[in-house]
Amino acid sequence: MIEMELLAQLKLSNVKRSNNLSQVERQRNKLVGKIEEQIKLAEAQQQGKTFTRTRWKIARNSDGTTSTVEYVQRVRQWWWKADSNKLFLNIRYGNKVIELAKGKGTIEVESVEQLIDTLKLVQGAASKGELDMHIAAASAAVRKRFAK
């Protein structure tokens, strides 16, 4: 009887969770997640640490049973340092560089601190949908490779 009194205090509803994301929303979320990894990688390098992501895969044992195994996957950085000691950054979708302006896909930054701020700015733009057309173009180029 005590349990029912506690449940009576809750506001119950019959609303179901929607799992139907559009393709644009899925692509946007994928890019935002990848940019988040780049931010963590840059912050780790700034602190003199390394950053790797942890993945899970199903492996078959010698006796034929399967088990889930955790493994570490290296994160490739999207930026590089030029001879002028400036950093240059490409925003990538898959293995394609996203052109942020016609013929321009590289962002120039002065330092790692500015790199992190720039990545956060691009992440905010991506989450608001400002890069949706660029993502769609890069996604089409990636899909085109698989159509052969």
Q: Write the pLDDT tens digit of every residue in 61-114.
A: 888 899 999 999 989 999 999 988 899 999 999 888 998 888 898 999 999 999
Inter-residue contact 102 to 96 (CB < 8 Å): no
Chain-centroid distance of CA 111 in Å reads 22
pLDDT single digits (tens) 22-76: 888 999 999 999 999 999 999 999 999 999 899 999 988 888 899 999 999 989 9
Inter-residue contact 71 to 55 (CB < 8 Å): yes
Whether the full predicted model's pTM is greater than 0.85, yes or no, is no
pLDDT single digits (tens) 4-19: 677 788 888 888 877 7
